[in-house]
Structures are given as C-alpha cells and as structure tokens.
Structure 1
Amino acid sequence: MQLPVSLIETDALALALDGRGPIGEAAERGWQIFASSPLHGGELVRAATGELAALLRPGLSVAQACLLAAASCPGVTKVLLSASAPAHWEAARAALDQAAIPPRTLRKVCDVLAPHHPS
C-alpha cells in the first residue's frame, strides 16, 4: 500500500503511532506500506526548522530528519523519494541508515504540529 507520510500532514503518522488508521490496519494485515511524499514535494524542507531537526535526530539536516521521521512511522516498510542530485541521494541514504526515531519523540512532534489529530 502506498500513501503520503510526512510531517506536513501528520494524521497518518499520529494514527499509526496508536496502531490505527490505514497504516495500522495495513500493518495488521501484514501488508507492506510505502510512504510517499516524505518531504511533501520539498515543502517540508522549506517549512521545517533546525530546532525540529535537532529534536528528531541531532546532527541531521532538516531534510534528513524529516525523511527519517517518515521512515520511522510504525508500519512503514519502505520510503519512496526522488532526488535531483547524487549528493541528495547520499544524504537520504545516510539518514535512512540511522536507527528509527522513538515513537514518543514522533508523538511529541505530532502533538506540536497538529495538536488536534483525529481520535
């Protein structure tokens, strides 16, 4: 299954943290979940801050931290992305080689970015 997962639209991520929503249901069925648009077409890189990146994973760039956040969504098995330069591919690979961001950190970020996510 493929669906957008990013910190721009946090609903899917917030629901997945509770094992609910489309990602939780697909994971329960044993389906692979492909996260598309993890940087929301580049919008997230322009909108996010260094403070957010440091909260997610100190030492990563904004783009890397936001990409790792999508990859750390419970149930996500693959992340679909494109890059315009070899250096971007290398930065993405370096980010995705990191350990997953803990669920409690993702929850904190979701609560700050969209405090009224679906119940």
Structure 2
Amino acid sequence: MADPIDQALGGGGSLVQAQDAGVITFASAPLHGGELPGLMTPELVEFIRPGLSAAAAALLVVASCPGLDVVLVSASTPDHWDDAAKAVTVPLAPEHLRSILDELAAG
C-alpha cells in the first residue's frame, strides 16, 4: 500500500489530484485491520522514529503522506489512543518518508 504515498511524494497520484481539486482526503484502516504493525521489524520502527511502538510508527508513515488530510483511527485503550496521537503530532519530513519507502522497496 505504499503506492499512494510514493505517487504523492512524486507530486502525482489521486491524493495530489484530490488536493488540487479541493477535495478532503481520508485514510481508513491505516493499519490494515491491525496487520501492518506485525510486519514491522524493530529496526524499521527505529528507522521511522526511535521510541515509537510498531503501530505508532506505521500510523506515522501513513499520516505523513502528502495530500492526505485525515487519518481515521480507532484504539482499544486510552494508552493506545495516546500512542497514536503522540505519533502523528510531528509528521515525517518528505525526504525521510522517501527514504523509508526506498528501504521498504529494497527490503
């Protein structure tokens, strides 16, 4: 599911088109039903942003996508909600997001 992020970083794709048209975009199920955190290695999490949980790191990558306005999340506990909120407070720089996608592609 990195294609939309990759396209947006390149200045194209549906998210950029929606933004250009004034349409608000939403990401639904950004953790793919809880599957994505289980695929994250500790090294990848540290590369994304040290100190985050796997779920928070994955959420941060999605929330940092250019052209994406809203990320819909749910949390099973107040601690999970705090973890998610903390993760998306400071988005990743586009250059770092690009390096993460490059690392995943090489992976």
**Fold conserved (TM > 0.5)?**
yes
Shift of 1:65: 1.2
- For 1:72 and 1:55, locate their aligned partners in 2 and report how far apart those are by CA, in whole Å: 15
Alignment pair present for 1:24 and 2:16: yes
Alignment pair present for 1:69 and 2:71: no
Alignment pair present for 1:113 and 2:107: no
Shift of 1:101: 0.4
Amino acid at match of 2:104: L
- For 2:45 and 2:28, locate their aligned partners in 1 and report how far apart those are by CA, in whole Å: 20
Q: Secondary structure at the match of 1:40?
A: coil
Q: Which runs of 5+ in 2 are unaligned?
A: none
The alignment's TM-score, normalised by the length of structure 1, stands at 0.82
- For 1:35 and 1:86, locate their aligned partners in 2 and report how far apart those are by CA, in whole Å: 21
| CA-atom RMSD in angstroms | 1.3
- For 2:81 and 2:19, locate their aligned partners in 1 and report how far apart those are by CA, in whole Å: 27
Match for residue 70 of structure 2? 78
Kindly report which structure 2 residues correspond to 1:46-65, keeping only aligned pairs within 5 A, or say none: 46-65=38-57
Amino acid at match of 1:83: A
The percent of aligned pairs where both chains have the same amino acid is: 47
Q: Which runs of 5+ in 1 are unaligned?
A: 1-8
Alignment pair present for 1:37 and 2:9: no
Amino acid at match of 2:23: W
Matched positions, count: 106
Shift of 1:50: 1.5
2:84 to 85, 89, 92: 92
Amino acid at match of 1:82: S
- For 1:28 and 1:103, locate their aligned partners in 2 and report how far apart those are by CA, in whole Å: 18
Q: Secondary structure at the match of 1:27?
A: helix
Q: Which runs of 4+ in 1 moved over 3 A?
A: none
